[in-house]
């Protein structure tokens, strides 16, 4: 009788120990899942905040260029017989940029982003044409105000190109995280969505060095 009782207690002890081990394993797995989930969520937040910061840089430099244009237009108007068509093109391109509206923190609609970038590209082209025309006006080019504006625009255009490339890389990395397992599960749970990307022609993929002739 004592032997049977001892065997019964031994079995109960073994089951108890096995249960405790099972509970410990389950708790460990649950904790691991929580840690992975927290790490994945924080990684998505970090990626999203990085894209916001990179986009803010893009917009800041675009705005700087936008704000320089009125002074540039007034300066070239002071040159005798400066081509009015070129001035009009710059003014109209600037107005188009002003009408292209995007959300304050991040662009979320591909069509709206494409329209915005198209307007900015048109403004950049109009400015380039104006600077080419200005080559025919030595007196204008010699003025301190024009030379200063020319230098500021060159620097701004180059900063735009760099900031745009940084944003492109940031969005690519963020979108990869949102779509990759297991972060895609967290992204769906917490509404992290992929972001629209710049559609950059192949010839513009390399970061250009803009020079309007100020270094000649």
pLDDT at 30: 64
Which residues of the chain fall below pLDDT 70?
1-19, 24-37, 200-216
pLDDT at 79: 87
Rounded to whole angstroms, the Cα distance separating 199 from 210 reads 20
pLDDT at 134: 94
- CATH superfamily ID and name for 2-204: LemA-like domain (1.20.1440.20)
Q: Exposure pattern of 124-133 as b/e (b: 16+ CB <10 Å)?
A: bebbebbbeb
């Amino acid at each position: 009788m004592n032997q049977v009782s001892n065997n019964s207690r031994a079995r109960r002890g073994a089951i108890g120990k096995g249960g405790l081990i099972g509970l410990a394993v389950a708790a460990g797995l649950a904790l691991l899942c929580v840690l992975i989930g927290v790490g994945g969520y924080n990684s998505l937040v970090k990626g999203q905040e990085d894209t916001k910061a990179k986009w803010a840089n893009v917009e800041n430099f675009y705005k700087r260029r936008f704000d320089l244009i009125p002074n540039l237009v007034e300066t070239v108007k002071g040159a005798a017989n400066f081509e009015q068509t070129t001035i009009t093109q710059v003014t109209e391109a600037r107005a188009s940029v002003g009408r292209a509206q995007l959300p304050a923190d991040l662009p979320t609609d591909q069509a709206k982003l494409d329209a915005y970038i198209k307007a900015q590209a048109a403004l950049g082209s109009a400015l380039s044409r104006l600077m080419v025309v200005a080559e025919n006006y030595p007196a204008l080019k010699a003025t301190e105000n024009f030379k200063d504006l020319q230098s500021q625009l060159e620097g701004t255009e180059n900063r735009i190109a760099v900031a745009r490339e940084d944003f492109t890389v940031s969005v690519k990395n963020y979108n990869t995280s949102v779509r990759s397992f297991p972060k895609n599960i967290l992204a769906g749970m917490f509404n992290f969505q992929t972001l629209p990307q710049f559609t950059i022609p192949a010839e513009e993929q390399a970061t250009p060095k803009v020079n309007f002739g100020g270094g000649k």
